[in-house]
Each structure stands twice: as structure tokens, then as C-alpha cells.
Amino acid sequence: MNIAPTRTTHPLLDLLPEVAEALAAGKAVVALESTIISHGMPYPRNVEMARGVEDLIRAEGAVPATIAVLGGRLKVGLTPDELELLATDKNVQKISTRDLPVTVALGGHGATTVASTMRIAALAGIRVFATGGTGGVHRGGTQTLDVSADLMELARTDVCVVSAGVKSILDIGLTLEYLETQGVPAITLGSEEFPAFYSRSSGFRSPLSVKTEEEAARVLHAKWSLGIGGGVLLANPVPADAEIPAADITPHIEQALADMDALGLTGKDTTPYLLGRIVEITGGRSLDTNIALVRHNAAVAARVARAYAALG
């Protein structure tokens, strides 16, 4: 198999041939982020998850494109060795939009967050992106101003992000308010309630909802046809058989937040710490849930991408 990267229109972009061919033919492509691999899950479950999700997207009739920065190049589609490097190399930094120009300029490696993955996906012409959870307004965000750059990117970059909603390590209500202000549709698939990542229920009504992936694709088409720039957050509740009910996960989240405060962590280190701590506290149960919901999001994203491609 020839897996040498193909350079497309943007001089910093390297696309795997599978991705380049699909994009040239107008076929469905689903972008995937890499911070979830390097900073979101422990080895080797992280790389198994990454490979499994790619296979699932292919089985749904779309082409996966896992995104990262390697040697300062924007990689759209990764080889098995590149996935392994992201999963194991402790020098790979978590890079958001702020960090992207530095990593490119200095020729470094970086695992991309939702925000920076959206940017690179948009440069490559990919409109649909699957992840686990997006960032949001952190608890206490009105004081700390810790608001994930994922929300700014949703406001300005034309990509649909499929996620399992917003974790209650964040302030879900403020996150939904922020998205409304920025004109970002937060749409839940198949439910009137906005989901809370580990749990199907958050206690917040979803601002908008659709019943099918086909309807979601029509929303994307309508939004961008109207000239309304920016992204769409498509929330996909965790499958019922994999969820951790809100009553069970809430005390564990509180514990993880208290442990984080005791350590004095702030900024970009908070989300990776909290995810890892919750895996420890739950004895691995949250990791099983995390993997199940990412897989579910990938399947949904593949179907949205196919429906969107069919709209022309």
C-alpha cells in the first residue's frame, strides 16, 4: 500500500491518499482529533480506540481522517506508526488554536484539540468531525475566564462537531449560553435534553434537536447556504447501556475537581487531569463509557457526512 502523504492546495497540509481521493471525489470524510489519544486516555486503550474508530467510520461508508501536527506539518489522516507515536510519546503537546502557529513554525509535534482540529479540517475541506466531548465554560469561568477555545472555534469555523455533549466538570448552562450568543446551533440528536457526556441527562433542555442524521445534514446545508458562518455542535447522547447515570458520576466529578484544586492546576492541564482522575476514581468504568460514546459519535458522524455529501 502506498501511504506516502499527498500535498494538497495548502502548502502546510499533508493528506493521506485515502483522504485526498475521497475529498477529490466529493465522498464522505470524517475528521478525528488527536488530543483525545495523547491526553484523553491511557495507553494502550487510546491507540486501540483510535484504530477502532477509524475502522468503524470505514464500515459506515465514510473515510476517517485523524488530524495532528507532526514535524510542523498539518497531517490529515495518520499512518499506524503516527497513531502509535501520538499514543505513546510524552513529548507530544496538547495544542489548541493558540498553539498551532508556534508548533508549525518550530517544526514540532502536537496533538490537536477540538478547536485546532476544526481549523485544519476546514483547511482540508472536511465538514464533519467526531470527538468524545468538547471543551466549554469551566466551572467558576465567570471569575477565571477559563472558557475553552473550542467554543470560539465553533463560532467561526464551518465544521460540524459530533460530541456526547458537555461533561459536568464544566458549567453546562454557561456553555449553552455562550454558544447561543455566538450563533452556534447546539442540536441534540434524538432527544429533547442536552446530554452530559458520561450521562444521557444533564438537567438542561437542548436548545434545538433533530431526529435523524439526515435532518442534521440538512441543517448544515441550510446554515452554510444562508451564509451563516461557523460550526454546529451536534450532541449525541451516550448509548443507554454504556452510560454512567448522573447520580453515580456526580460525586466522582466533585472529588476530581477537589483534587485538582488541591494541586492548584489551571489552564490547559485541567481537562486532561480531570479525565485521568475520573478514570482512577471510577476504577476504569469512565474509560469504558468514554470509548463507547466516541464510537457512537463516529458512527453518527459518518452517517451525517454521507447524508451531507448526498446533498451535493
For residue 40, the partner it binds in ligand PSU, Mn ion, none, with Cβ less than 5 to 8 A by kind, is ligand PSU
> Binding string to Mn ion for residues 119 to 148, with x set by CB under 5 A, is what?
---------------------------x--
Q: Which is nearer to ligand PSU, 39 or 306 (CB)?
A: 39
Active-site residue, from 33, 60, 153, 243: 33
Q: Which is nearer to Mn ion, 96 or 236 (CB)?
A: 96
For residue 114, the partner it binds in ligand PSU, Mn ion, none, with Cβ less than 5 to 8 A by kind, is ligand PSU
Supply the Cα-derived Rg of the chain in whole angstroms.
18
The response to whether 148 counts as a known ligand-binding position is: yes
Hey, which residues between 257 and 276 contact Mn ion (CB under 5 A)? none
Q: In sequence order, what are the residues at sequence separation of 6 or more whose Cβ sits closer than 8 angstroms to the Cβ of residue 199?
A: 168, 238, 243, 244, 245, 246, 249
Q: Which is nearer to ligand PSU, 158 or 214 (CB)?
A: 158
The DSSP bridge pattern shows strands 160-163 and 232-235 to be: parallel
Does residue 167 carry a catalytic annotation? yes
Q: Which is nearer to ligand PSU, 40 or 185 (CB)?
A: 40
CB of 267 to Mn ion, least distance (A): 6
CB of 150 to ligand PSU, least distance (A): 5
126 phi and psi, to 5 degrees? -100, 130
CB of 21 to ligand PSU, least distance (A): 27
The response to whether 268 counts as a known ligand-binding position is: no
Q: Which residues bind ligand PSU (CB under 6 A)?
A: 33, 35-36, 40, 96, 113-114, 132-135, 148-150, 167, 268, 271, 275
For residue 271, the partner it binds in ligand PSU, Mn ion, none, with Cβ less than 5 to 8 A by kind, is ligand PSU
The response to whether 94 counts as a known ligand-binding position is: yes
235 phi and psi, to 5 degrees? -90, 130
Q: Which is nearer to ligand PSU, 132 or 230 (CB)?
A: 132
For residue 165, the partner it binds in ligand PSU, Mn ion, none, with Cβ less than 5 to 8 A by kind, is none
Active-site residue, from 75, 167, 223, 268: 167
CA dihedral 21, 31, 53, 217 (to 10 degrees): -90
Residue nearest to ligand PSU (CB): 40
Does residue 33 carry a catalytic annotation? yes
First to last CA, the chain: 30
User: Can you say which residues are annotated as belonging to the binding site for substrate?
Assistant: 94, 114, 148-150
* Active-site annotation, residues: 33, 167
